[in-house]
Amino acid sequence: MQTEFRAIEWPTLLLFVVSYALWAAGTTILWQLSPTLAILAAGLAIAQLSSLTHEVLHGHPFRSQFWSEALVFPATSVFIPYLRFKDTHLQHHNDPALTDPYDDPESNFFDPAAWARLSAPMQVLLRFNNTLFGRMLIGPFVGTGIFLATDWRLALQGDRRVLLAWALHLPGLALVFGWLWAVGQMPVWAYLVAVYIGTALLKIRTYLEHRAHEAARARTVIIESRGPLSLLFLNNNFHVVHHMHPAVAWYKLPGLYAARKDHYQRRNEAYVYRSYAEIFRRYLFTPKDPVPHPVWPVRKSGD
What tens digit of pLDDT does each residue of 127-148 get? 999 999 999 999 999 999 999 9
Q: Is the dihedral of CA 228, 237, 235, 194 positive or negative?
A: positive
pLDDT band at 6 (very low <50, low <70, confident <90, very high): low
pLDDT in tens, 250-267: 999 999 999 999 999 999
194 vs 192: CA distance, rounded Å: 5
In a domain, 232, yes or no: no
- What pLDDT is attached to residue 301? 40
Q: Which of 50, 60, 2 is nearest to 23 (CA)?
A: 50
- Given a cut of 60, whether residue 302 has pLDDT beyond it is no
In a domain, 196, yes or no: yes
Cα first-last separation, the chain: 53
- Given a cut of 70, whether residue 1 has pLDDT beyond it is no
194 is in which domain, residue-wise?
2-207
In a domain, 281, yes or no: no
In a domain, 134, yes or no: yes
In a domain, 34, yes or no: yes
In a domain, 27, yes or no: yes
Residues 6+ apart with CB under 8 A from 259: none
- What pLDDT is attached to residue 127? 97
Neighbours of 91 (CB within 10 A): 13
In a domain, 224, yes or no: no
Q: Which of 209, 229, 206 is nearest to 276 (CA)?
A: 229
pLDDT in tens, 170-200: 999 999 999 999 999 999 999 999 999 999 9
Pairing of strands 272-273, 222-223: parallel
Question: CA-based Rg of the chain, rounded to a whole angstrom?
Answer: 20
Q: What is the mean pLDDT of residues 234-255?
A: 97
State what percent of residues in the chain have pLDDT above 70: 96
Residues 6+ apart with CB under 8 A from 297: none
In a domain, 268, yes or no: no
pTM score, whole prediction:
0.93
How many Cα neighbours within 13 Å face the side chain of 60?
Answer: 22
- Number of structural domains (the chain) is 1
Secondary structure (DSSP) of 219-274: SB-EE---SHHHHHTTTTTSHHHHHHSTTS-GGGHHHHHHHTHHHHHHHTTT-EES
Neighbours of 50 (CB within 10 A): 24
pLDDT in tens, 10-45: 999 999 999 999 999 999 999 999 999 999 999 999
